[in-house]
Amino acid sequence: MTNKAVFLDRDGVINVDHGYVYRKEDFEFVDGIFEACRHFQEQGYLLIIVTNQSGIARGMYSEAQFQELTDWMVERFKEQGVTITKVYHCPHHPNFGPADERDCDCRKPKPGMILRGLEEFELDPAECIMIGDKGSDMVAAECSRIVTRIKVSSGQLRDNDFILSVLV
């Protein structure tokens, strides 16, 4: 039984961030993401995606459209021999959507999505890693007591050798 996971942001880490990506036609995987995830998986890490999706609150796309893209993305990972354990998403935004949903605990930099993953999968935050492309990803990880935090340039895994060397 594993007690560690890699938490990955989606836009800017898994796919190139083209802004409010919700259709597979617009989804472009970041070079090296399958290899990096496969490596972490081989080292015994669960792979958990934590993604803010304010486009839902903004009315740009629906929960169903988000889920359709997510299912497609998870299947592409599966075809590459990579299992995505869980995808958590925050559909909220502080300025859009229903007023009673604007102040949530899940929108990064708040740690709600990560904390849910830690609890659901009985993970040790000291053994987990967060990979994100924004300061809000790093703050959410810090608030969750995740020590190993890797910030990548948006849409680039040029530091793939560094990411892989974290475990070597």
**Is 124 a known active-site residue?**
no
Residue 19 is labelled as binding a ligand = yes
Based on the residue annotation, tell me whether 11 is a catalytic residue of this protein.
yes
Q: Is 38 assigned to a binding site?
A: no
> Is 134 annotated as ligand-binding?
yes
What CA–CA distance (Å, rounded) separates 61 from 67? 10
Catalytic residue among 9, 31, 124, 137: 9
Three-class SS string for 85-141? Answer: CEEEEECCECCECCHHHCCCCCCCCCCHHHHHHHHHCCCCHHHCEEEECCHHHHHHH
Rounded (10°) angle between helices 112-120 and 135-143: 50
What is the radius of gyration, based on Cα positions, of the chain?
15
Select which of 11, 31, 124, 161 is catalytic: 11
Q: Which residues are catalytic?
A: 9, 11
Q: Which residues are annotated as a binding site for substrate?
A: 9-11, 17-20, 51-54, 107-108, 134
Q: Which residues are annotated as a binding site for Zn(2+)?
A: 90, 92, 104, 106
Q: Which residues are annotated as a binding site for Mg(2+)?
A: 9, 11, 133-134
Q: Which residues are annotated as a binding site?
A: 9-11, 17-20, 51-54, 90, 92, 104, 106-108, 133-134
